Chain A
Amino acid sequence: GENVEQHPSTLSVQEGDSAVIKCTYSDSASNYFPWYKQELGKRPQLIIDIRSNVGEKKDQRIAVTLNKTAKHFSLHITETQPEDSAVYFCAASNGNTPLVFGKGTRLSVIA
């Protein structure tokens, strides 16, 4: 089955700097890669996703890149703000089985 590895487990950045979180997956048939953000005490929410037919997708300050050959994808947050502090989860799916999640990255943005 699919296995998703996520790094780092914790990340601290200064406000205004960029943050990068990386994930690798094992199933070459996976074709959908979402990112979820979970603020303290709240439910996870989808912030961006990418499908295997594109290499990059942007939405304002966040972007996701996908390298199918290497089987890894990354989340990039630019101009970080205190409200970006949260736990971020990557996930992967081949469309036939449920999403498999990484173990999460706790991002702290220091003002």
Chain B
Amino acid sequence: DGGITQSPKYLFRKEGQNVTLSCEQNLNHDAMYWYRQDPGQGLRLIYYSQIVNDFQKGDIAEGYSVSREKKESFPLTVTSAQKNPTAFYLCASSKNMGATNEKLFFGSGTQLSVL
């Protein structure tokens, strides 16, 4: 599934540092999501956005922030307040949320590790 790009593939964070993960889509999708994947924990929702300039907290938003200034872009910042940031981060998009267009298209992910 092309059309949704995450970068970088690997990222290392130093103590007290904020890092930003990039997510770009050219599918003309309204809705975008960030999930965190830990072994045995499934996919847990961090933040989601249904429309430009609007976003909502997911189940594990503490220590993270997002912005949605453009339809195509939904960057995720992992702040120093996130004490256990090591995980695989997946960005996804869907045409919209609800009705019949919930199919998610995922990016290839970013593996974040703490130095």
Contacts and interface: CB of A to CB of B under 8 A. Distances in A.
A45 B2 CA distance: 11
Nearest to B99: A95
A110 interface: no
Interface in B34-72: 35, 40-45, 48, 58-59
A46 B33 CA distance: 16
Given A43-B90, A43-B109, A95-B98, A49 B43 contact: no
A99 interface: yes
Contacts, number: 54
B112 to A, nearest CB: 16
A44 B40 contact: no
Interface string A26-59: 0000001010100000111110010000000000
4 residue pairs, one from A and one from B, having the closest CB atoms = A103-B42, A95-B98, A43-B106, A101-B43
18 contacts: A34-B102, A36-B104, A43-B90, A43-B108, A43-B109, A44-B104, A46-B104, A93-B102, A95-B98, A95-B99, A95-B102, A97-B97, A98-B33, A98-B45, A99-B104, A101-B44, A102-B42, A104-B40
Interface of A: 1, 6, 9, 32, 34, 36, 42-46, 49, 89, 93, 95-104
